Every structure is written in structure tokens, then in C-alpha cells.
Amino acid sequence: MLKLSNINKTYHPGTPYAVPALQQLNLELPKGTFCIIIGGNGSGKSTLLNIIAGTIFPDHGDIYINQQKITSLKAYERSQFVARVFQNPHAGTAPNLSVLENFRLAALRTQKKKLRIGLGRSFEQVIKENIADLGLGLENKINQPMGTLSGGQRQALSLLMSTLDDTQLLLLDEPTAALDPKSSALVMQTANHLIEKNNLTTIWVTHHLKTVIDYGNRVIQMAQGKIIKDLEGADKQAINLQDLYSWFD
């Protein structure tokens, strides 16, 4: 489904501040993989997600989705395949638009935004049901501006938004970092529920080692722009927290 071959990315190349953020990175994710990425600060996790999403471009190497080379597609073009949830809930939603309007755009992620009124009764009904499924009681707030909701509520909604329109690859960069423990647990459960329900190919970056135990079917550790550990299947299931801590020694 996703293939990265020989990706290199250096920030500020040729200056004293040059940072080799990704080095000769290769990665292949078959469809349905739920991959958790861990690694120290500055190990290149966000850079990797941004390169997949197309908000930054690699210096070398190619990116394929379903055998199709997408290396030169811009971020807004890659949204055809890729949905994202950002660390900051403010980045992934528009605060001055109503919840429903946010969802309207998310429902059209892979489609043209045309000159027609799409906010009809039937659309509203579908979205209401979807939001009600989250069990947060937000279905009665769909006409409020998104900015009036809490960070956790917005993050839960942006997760739902990311799964609305034919998502092939879901990228989550520390989606719970800005949330309190309760909201964070809730968002994780929501994410897990949506990922399993839609059988999404997913990359989830986290600093929460417990997430690795509870979720996903593959785990990758990064350091200095490289993949240094990669476990899946039974090996992944066998990991315990002690092992994970020892990876960081």
C-alpha cells in the first residue's frame, strides 16, 4: 500500500546547521497495517509523516501509494489518499466554521468543492449519527463554531473527520499530546475503534509506550533519521513495557 524507498532529507543543507533528519529510509506498509512509531525527540518521526503527506519533499528517494509514484504530488493533491490528524487540534479543524461545516469539507476531502449547497438535511443527519456513535454527546453541538469545543472534543472530531471520505492511509502525529489523561484515553479508544472498523492502513507516532502494548500490529523505533527496530505479528504482540523501556537505553 505505502512504500518509501531510499528517502533522504536534510534541513538547511550545506550550512553549519545542516540536520540530516532522514537517512536512506526504506519502509513498506501492506494494506491494513496499523503501525506505531516511537523514537526520541528529533529522531525524524514528524519529518517522516510530513514527507508522506507532502508538506515537505525529500532530497532523494521516492514515495509510492498502491504502486503509484506520488513523490512530486503536492500535499493538497495527496489528500486523495492520505488523511491526517495533527498533534494540535487547532491545526486540523477550522475554529470559526461550524462543526457541521468542518465535517462537510472533510467529507469532500477527495472531491471537488463545487458551487453547490451541500449542507442539506440528509448530510446533517448522517453526520449527526456518526458523531453520536462517538458517545461524547457532541451531536447536539454541530451548529456551533468548532472553536467553542474543548481540545479533546475537537481532537475526537478531527479523528472522525479523517475517516469520513475514502481514507486509504491515516497519519497521526501524537494526536493526544495536547490532551489531559481522560480526553487522551478517549481519543485513543475512538481512534482504535475507527481504524479497526474501517480497516485503515495507519501510521501513529506516539511517545506513550503503553500505546504500543495496547494498539497496532506493528511497531517501529526511529533514531537519528533511521529505523532501528521494526517488529510485527507475534513479535509485536509479545512485547512488554520493560522491553520497550530497554529500547531507549
Ligand X SMILES: Nc1ncnc2c1ncn2[C@@H]1O[C@H](COP(=O)(O)OP(=O)(O)OP(=O)(O)O)[C@@H](O)[C@H]1O
- The stretch among 25-33, 113-121, 131-139, 177-185 that binds another protein (CB under 8 A) is 113-121
Of 236, 156, 222, 141, the closest CA to residue 194 belongs to 156
CB closer to another protein, 75 vs 213: 75
Which of Mg ion, ligand X, another protein, none interacts with 42 (beta carbon under 5 to 8 A by kind)? ligand X
- Min dist CB 138 to Mg ion, Å, is 28
- Site membership for Mg ion, residue 88 (CB under 5 A): no
Which of another protein, Mg ion, ligand X, none interacts with 43 (beta carbon under 5 to 8 A by kind)? ligand X
Angle, CA of 102, 50 and 113, to the nearest 5°: 30
Q: Please state, in angstroms and rounded to a whole number, the distance separating the CA atoms of residues 3 and 169.
A: 12
Selected from 23, 46, 71, 217, the binder of Mg ion by CB under 5 A is: 46
Residues of this chain that interact with ligand X (CB under 6 A) are 11-12, 19, 21, 39, 41-47
Residue 41 per-residue DSSP state: T
- Min dist CB 198 to another protein, Å, is 18
* Element spanning 148, H or E: none
- Chain-centroid distance, C-alpha 77: 17
Which of ligand X, another protein, Mg ion, none interacts with 41 (beta carbon under 5 to 8 A by kind)? ligand X
- Min dist CB 182 to another protein, Å, is 25
Q: Which amino acid is at 195?
A: I
CB closer to ligand X, 142 vs 171: 171
Q: What is residue 110's three-state secondary structure? A: coil
Name beta bridge partners: 2. Answer: 29, 65
Measured CA distances, 79 to 33, 54, 76, 170 (Å): 19, 9, 5, 10
- The stretch among 17-25, 44-52, 125-133, 163-171 that binds Mg ion (CB under 5 A) is 44-52
Q: Which three cell numbers stand for residue 71?
A: 513523490
CB closer to another protein, 35 vs 53: 53
- Min dist CB 111 to ligand X, Å, is 31
- Min dist CB 91 to another protein, Å, is 4
Of 218, 216, 211, 221, the closest CA to residue 246 belongs to 221
Name beta bridge partners: 177. Answer: none
- Site membership for another protein, residue 117 (CB under 8 A): yes
Binding to another protein (CB under 8 A): which residues in 62-101? Answer: 74-77, 79-80, 82-84, 86, 90-97, 101
Q: Please state, in angstroms and rounded to a whole number, the distance separating the CA atoms of residues 10 and 181.
A: 35
Binding site for Mg ion (CB under 5 A): 46
